[in-house]
Structure 1
């Protein structure tokens, strides 16, 4: 089953969010207009807006109101990707040239800022103060995650605890907030808001762990970016961290590669054969089980069925 087939009952509202995104990135400045349009055409799973719509089903569902929050969260996600590509010096994303490679770093940073500002503008139409407080806290934590990643880049002495804190801030938190803010925007009961946050957090951790696994196991065509790109950019993820503790000499070989003299093909092969992929898969499965448990604690609803199906998709996805 394809991802889009798991939430067909909100398909029309999701189309409305896509239109909202198009309006949001519109600008009278040609460069901003072209950059924003290119980002939207590059696609994406739109998993955050989907979670907003599904979570909002547990309250007084108002599509016009909820779509503002959903579009805002997707815009924040898009802005972080634009900024990430500058930090990582990435030329490709989703099989397309990044904004920084099409123009330059300065243009990319300001395009990201513009998109982020449009997200905040959309959020002003969500009147619940709690939504703004949570989003502000989430954005702060995301920034800390980005700074943490920069600080730990190329650091072979980092530990697994740092890795989990980093992916919580960079990925899981925004997915958790998507679930929670959808519930808040529709006035869902607080216990349900908490269950949805728990679902989103654990699904988000599994989502990022799966991304980090796929970076080693998928082809460049499937990923839309170079395979092994995380390790090349100095971002050591769980499979590599596990492998460094399991394979004698691997840590030294990675350090040599970062100094410009290592064999990347050998390193990638050793990571794949170390048991690190399997270990990361088990950790991702444990997070997914927690997400499923949280979803099973929700009242019976078509939205719950969709959340459970999406959790299953996260565990099976290949790109």
Structure 2
């Protein structure tokens, strides 16, 4: 299977520059932020979100070099994403991310929360300095969506009445909004038509949904080594995702386990097995594939070239992670 790293080779130099800039932007203010920045941005993430922004920028400016504002947008996107992860890990009490200790387990909750707050504030400052009101509105909406998604997830823990539409809405807020709005923002900075900006938005929206659905499937099928956390972590915390929601009508006892919040010994192991023995995972896989295909359809409206092809390949790569 092609790796994300090899797919992103056309913007590899851009991403190296982005990482260096992020460390400088964040770390200059305080020694503890310097340490946190080195830790956050040196943690080996794939940097898919800023890569998509950079690819969309290049795809919408095929005859010109992308501007410093495009690069700053990619940096802002990664700041917002990283800030949300830091806060999510505190809320979820996650000890590991990508197989390494989370910021709060390394520096403590106080520093993690303040580092996340600082990243959100810093991203807002640099966003305002792009001097483009439409882009400011798009990325400001993302920050609201992230909070809304986290609230929705908190309020719907262990809720067996959650629908697939509810799940998709929550997944949009928590994952797809950032990809959708930052991809559209890249087109806005390039001066594309409103119609093309909408295509970019829809590409990011469906790609983000496919990405989240695949992540949720891997919570049942992946290994500790590949996930960087124990399998079933989301389920154990009461976050009911597509495989579970599809499995519920088929596996009535799953509802019993959810209602008692997996409080008895071996409950979580039983629940994982019930989902795996159902059609929940194949149905979720089809949902991911549908969204991946829609992403490809929308991005195909862009002018042909290597950046557009990489964006298409990324949409296909997302579902290939299940192979």
TM-score by length of 2: 0.93
On the 8 A contact 2:188/2:197 being kept in 1, the answer is yes
1:36 maps to 2:37: yes
1:279 counterpart = 2:283: yes
Contact preservation (8 Å) 2:23, 2:34:
no
Out of 203, 206, 228, the residue aligned to residue 224 of structure 1 is: 228
Unmatched runs of 5 consecutive residues or more in structure 1? none
Task: Using the TM superposition, name which of 14-23 and 281-290 deviates more.
Answer: 14-23
The 5-angstrom pairing of residues 166-181 of structure 1 reads 166-181=170-185
Q: Which residue of 2 aligns with 1:99?
A: 103
CA–CA separation in structure 2 for the residues paired with 1:97 and 1:63: 36
Residue in structure 2 matched with residue 84 of structure 1 by the alignment: 88
Q: Distance in 1 between matches of 2:145 and 2:11?
A: 30
- Which residue pairs with 1:25 in the alignment? 26
Corresponding position of 2:254: 250
Distance 2:272 2:114 in 1: 35
**3-state SS of paired residue (2:252):** coil
Which piece of structure 1 moves more, 88-97 or 11-20? 11-20
Taking structure 1 as the reference length, the TM-score comes to: 0.95
What root-mean-square deviation, in Å, do the aligned CA atoms of Structure 1 and Structure 2 show?
1.7
3-state DSSP class of the match of 1:215? helix
Indicate the residue corresponding to 1:128 in structure 2. Answer: 132
TM-aligned CA deviation for residue 200 of structure 1: 0.7
Asked if the contact 2:247–2:278 (Cα under 8 Å) also holds between the matched residues in 1, the reply is yes
Q: Distance in 1 between matches of 2:11 and 2:19?
A: 13
User: How many residues align structurally?
Assistant: 319
1:187 matched to 2:191: yes
Structure 2 residue 48 is the aligned partner of structure 1 residue 47: yes
**Is 1:268 matched with 2:272?**
yes
Equivalent residue runs for 1:195-210 within 5 Å: 195-210=199-214
> How far is the alpha carbon of 1:40 from its aligned partner?
1.4
What is aligned with 2:12?
11
CA contact (8 A) 1:141 1:169 kept: yes
Report how far residue 168 of structure 1 moved: 0.7
Counterpart in the other structure of 2:78? 74
Secondary structure in structure 2 of the residue aligned to 1:249: helix
